[in-house]
Amino acid sequence: MASYFPRIGIVGSGAVGTYYGARMALAGADVRFLMRGDLAAVRARGSIVIREQAGTTELKAVKAFGSAAEIGPVDLAVIGLKTTSSSALKGLVQPLLGPQTALFTLQNGLGADEFLAGLFGAGRIMGGLVFMAITRTGPGEVRCFHPGMVSVGEFGGPPIARTHGLVALLKAAGMKAFVVDNLLEARWRKLVWNIPFNGLSIAQGGITTDRICSDPRLAGEARGLMLEVQRAAAGFGFMIPDGFVKKQFDVTPPMGPYQPSSLVDYLAGREVEVETIWGEPLRRAQAAGVEMPLLASLYARLRALCPGSPAG
Handedness of CA 79, 84, 85, 87 (dihedral sign): positive
Active-site position among 90, 190, 246, 247:
190
Catalytic, 246? Answer no
Residues with catalytic function? 190
